[in-house]
Copies of this chain bind each other. A is one copy, B any other.
C-alpha cells in the first residue's frame, strides 16, 4: 500500500497545499456595520433554546438581540480583500443570554449568512448558520441615495430564507448611545455538534466559548425601532414574539477573532 499523505488545510477539503480549504487558519479579521434591535420575549421561549448544561440568564432572561451585519473579512494574508467575492458577506442573527456555571454568556440561536466561507466559520465557532438573503441600508458620505450616521437617519434591514421574508426592521437614529446593546455583549457559549453517522445521537458535542480577540468600535447610536417577524414552515424566529422593544443601535466596528476555549466536552 502506498503511504498516505500528510494533508493540510484548516478545514475541508484537505490537500497537499491546504489552498482549497473552505476557510483559512484564524485569526480572521472583520470590518463592518452592525444594526442591532433588542427586545423582550417570553423567557420560556428562550429557555427552550438552551440545551444542557445551559440555563436562563438571571437578569432579564427574555432579552433577545436581532442583529444585521454587513461585513468585509479576511485572513492574515489579506488576499481575500482583493478578490472581494471571497471577503464580503452579510448576515442576520439572533442572540440570547444564558448562564453556565454561574457566568453569563451570549448565545447565537439562529443565524443566516450568504457565503459558504461564512457557513464554515460558523461550523467552527458553533454558530448554527443557514443561507439567507439579508439587506441593510448603507451609510455613505453623499446623501443622494443614502443616510449618514446621525440624528434622523433611517436604516432598513430585511431577512429572508427559502424565498420567504422572515423579518424586517427600520431603525431611525435619535442620539449617540453609550452602549450598542447588552444581549450580545458577553463571550459566546456555543454547542458544536456532529451527529453520529449511524444515527445514535451525537458522535461529538462540545460546549465552547469564544469572543473577539480584539475589538474597535465607532460611536454607537440609538434610535426608534419598527420591527416585524414573519412565520415560515422551516424557521422559528417568529416564535420569539416581540413583547417589548428594548432599543435599537447602529455601530461600525472592526473585530479580530482568533479561536476560543473548550468549556465542556459533552460527547
| A251 and B13 alpha carbons, distance in the complex (Å) | 27
Q: Which B residues are CB-close (under 8 A) to A36?
A: none
Q: Which B residues are CB-close (under 8 A) to A47?
A: 2, 4-5
Contact with B along A149-168 (1 / 0, CB 8 A): 00000111110101111001
**Chain B residue with the shortest CB-CB distance to A45:** B16
Q: How many residues of A contact B (CB 8 A)?
A: 120
| A157 and B84 alpha carbons, distance in the complex (Å) | 7
Identify A145's interface contact among B5, B29, B146, CB under 8 A: B29
**Chain B residue with the shortest CB-CB distance to A157:** B84
| A20 and B111 alpha carbons, distance in the complex (Å) | 11
A236 at the interface (CB under 8 A from B): yes
A106 at the interface (CB under 8 A from B): no
| A71 and B221 alpha carbons, distance in the complex (Å) | 24
Contact (Cβ within 8 A) A198 B252:
no
Contact with B along A204-234 (1 / 0, CB 8 A): 1010101000001110000000000000011
| A86 and B25 alpha carbons, distance in the complex (Å) | 32
Identify A146's interface contact among B81, B83, B193, CB under 8 A: B81
A133 at the interface (CB under 8 A from B): yes
Identify A4's interface contact among B32, B51, B126, CB under 8 A: B51
Contact (Cβ within 8 A) B197 A262:
yes
Contact (Cβ within 8 A) A72 B138:
yes
Q: Which B residues are CB-close (under 8 A) to A53?
A: 4
A228 CB to closest chain B CB (Å) equals: 12
**Chain B residue with the shortest CB-CB distance to A159:** B163
Contact with B along A42-63 (1 / 0, CB 8 A): 0100011111111110100100
Q: Which B residues are CB-close (under 8 A) to A109?
A: 13
A residues adjacent to B (C-beta < 8 A): 1-7, 10-17, 19-20, 22, 25-26, 29-32, 43, 47-56, 58, 61, 71-74, 79, 81-88, 99, 109-110, 115-116, 119, 123-126, 128-131, 133, 135-138, 140-147, 154-158, 160, 162-165, 168, 170, 191-199, 203-204, 206, 208, 210, 216-218, 233-236, 252-256, 258-262
23 pairs across A/B with beta carbons < 8 Å?
A2-B56, A4-B47, A4-B55, A5-B49, A6-B51, A14-B191, A14-B193, A16-B49, A25-B199, A29-B144, A72-B137, A72-B145, A82-B170, A83-B156, A84-B136, A85-B135, A86-B234, A141-B252, A142-B254, A160-B163, A164-B165, A194-B194, A196-B262
